[in-house]
Chains A and B, each alone.
Chain A
């Protein structure tokens, strides 16, 4: 696939060229949206919106990493989805404390007071990770998804979400530690290699 040629023809309004690009990137786009939003239906909507928006604004692409440019569109679509959700009543991910303040730590996910339904939902490792991702603040989650799940380098992520490189480093470090804290509650779900790795170094 000659990506640059496809982008150039798409910039002249050729939808078929852009659809070829979509077929190449759609799995990555959907996976990113899914990990940021934590819901398949929402991720599907956000992915479609992202591609529509990307086609309409493809003339603004001035070279560089197309993947990073596309990821910016996806994260924007996800943020739009969050805004839409905010307008609707939703259940908060982090419960309030007795003082009425939001819990800072996501450890509540592994709390023994979890309902059986919640436990069964968190049975699988993927669900557990997604729960921990959902517990992160949006901006932390976006950085960790783009870096650790999509394998983008720091500069690409900085381009994608228009944030300085130093902020990316800071958010990534905190997000990783918070995730590790959260995943401790699901230790039994983790592959033995991860548990051993942690134990051998402690």
Chain B
């Protein structure tokens, strides 16, 4: 067979399949009538197509139907499943929070307690201010009222600092009276806060959250398994 240009062969192939427009088909037909080699090329193409069409259609050796597992479909789950799963997750998060809170509370709360102490100390000072205000005036006349002032502070929280203060002269006590009270009240309040921090989130709550989380998780798991059994 003569070697025809690709364009001619494409035309012949398309003509054979009826894919050419009417004018182009007419052109090809006139050339086929005048050029035997062109007609021979058409015959070659037609033969190849006929042989291919003769190929027996092979049936599928098995069914290719899909299962839900093959396509990764999940079974439809009831709403209760999501409620229990949420409950379980929420309980777990809360439980983690309680542990974190208990662990971090002493460190975080110290400055908070300090500010509380300052505030209470300030207020205490403010409340005592009228009572103490006459003290310096009285101290000028007699020592008795001046000595009473530190003794009132000692009554709130007797510490090592207060004897030192009481050992000093009344004049020394006069001016730093309020500032001397601050460390005293701080140490007292931090001791109280330590007692409070130990029971910031009670163990009972943690156990309750743990049980709630576990039960919710188990129920959610059972619902999921039942749904899978029904699905398959």
Q: Do A and B interact with each other, yes or no?
A: yes
Interface, chain A (partner B; CB < 8 A): 13, 15, 18-19, 22-23, 26-27, 29-31, 34-35, 40, 44, 47-48, 51-52, 55-56, 125-126, 129, 144, 147-149, 151, 153-154, 169-170, 172-174, 176-177, 179-180, 183, 190-191, 194, 197-198, 201-202
In the complex with contacts A179-B52, A202-B40, A30-B47 CB distance below 8 A: no
Secondary structure type dominating chain A contacts: helix
- Chain A, Cβ-Cβ closest to B73: A15
Once the chains are docked, how many angstroms separate the CA of A31 from the CA of B70?
22
Q: Which residues of A contact B17 (CB under 8 A)?
A: 147, 153-154, 172
Complex alpha-carbon distance, A102 and B229, angstroms? 57
**Distance to closest chain A CB from B121 (angstroms):** 69
Q: List 8 A-B contacts (CB under 8 A).
A: A22-B63, A27-B57, A30-B64, A52-B70, A147-B17, A148-B49, A148-B52, A170-B6
Stretch at the interface among B8-16, B125-133, B171-179, B192-200: B8-16
Q: Would you list which residues of chain B between 21 and 58 have a CB under 8 Å from chain A?
A: 39-58
Within 64-96 of B, Cβ neighbours of A (below 8 Å) are at 64-66, 68, 70-71, 73
Nearest CB to that of A20 among chain B residues? B65
Are A173 and B6 in touch, CB under 8 angstroms? yes
The smallest beta-carbon distance between A193 and chain B, in angstroms, is 8
Question: Residue B62 at the A interface, CB < 8 A?
Answer: yes
Q: How far is the CB of A202 from chain B (nearest CB, A)?
A: 5
Q: Does B169 contact A (CB under 8 A)?
A: no
Instruction: Say yes or no: B9 contacts A177, CB within 8 Å.
Output: yes
Nearest-Cβ distance from residue B85 to partner chain A, whole angstroms:
22
Q: How many A-B residue pairs have CB under 8 A?
A: 124
Q: A19-B65, A34-B58, A51-B66 are in contact. Are A176 and B50 (CB under 8 A)?
A: no
CA distance A94 to B66 in the complex (A): 37
With a cutoff of 8 Å between Cβ atoms, the chain B residues found around residue A27 in the complex are 57-60
What total of chain B residues lie within 8 Å of the partner, measured CB to CB? Answer: 40
Q: Of A15, A23, A40, A148, which contacts B68 at CB under 8 A?
A: A15
* Chain B interface SS verdict (over half): helix
Whether B204 sits at the interface, judged by CB under 8 Å, is: no
On whether A30 and B13 interact (CB within 8 A), knowing A144-B52, A179-B51, A201-B39, the answer reads: no
Q: Are B13 and A173 in contact (CB under 8 A)?
A: yes
Cα–Cα, bound, A40→B58 (Å) = 10
In the docked arrangement, what's the CA distance between A202 and B43, Å? 8
Minimum CB–CB distance from B231 to chain A (whole Å) comes to 11
User: Which residue of A is nearest B39, CB measured?
Assistant: A201
Contact B51 A44 (CB under 8 A): no
Contact status A126-B48, CB under 8 Å: no
How distant is A168 from chain B, measured CB to nearest CB, in Å? 9
Give CA–CA (A125, B40) in the complex, Å. Answer: 23
Which residues of chain A come closer than 8 Å to B63, judged between CB atoms?
A: 22-23, 26
* Contact assessment for A183 and B48 in the assembled complex, using a CB-CB cutoff below 8 Å: yes
Q: In the assembled complex, which residues on chain A have CB atoms less than 8 Å from the CB atom of B59?
A: 27, 30-31
A19–B73 alpha-carbon span in the complex (Å) = 14
Contact B6 A201 (CB under 8 A): no
Q: Which chain A positions have C-beta within 8 A of B45?
A: 173, 176-177, 180
Report the bound CA distance from A47 to B13 in whole Å. Answer: 30
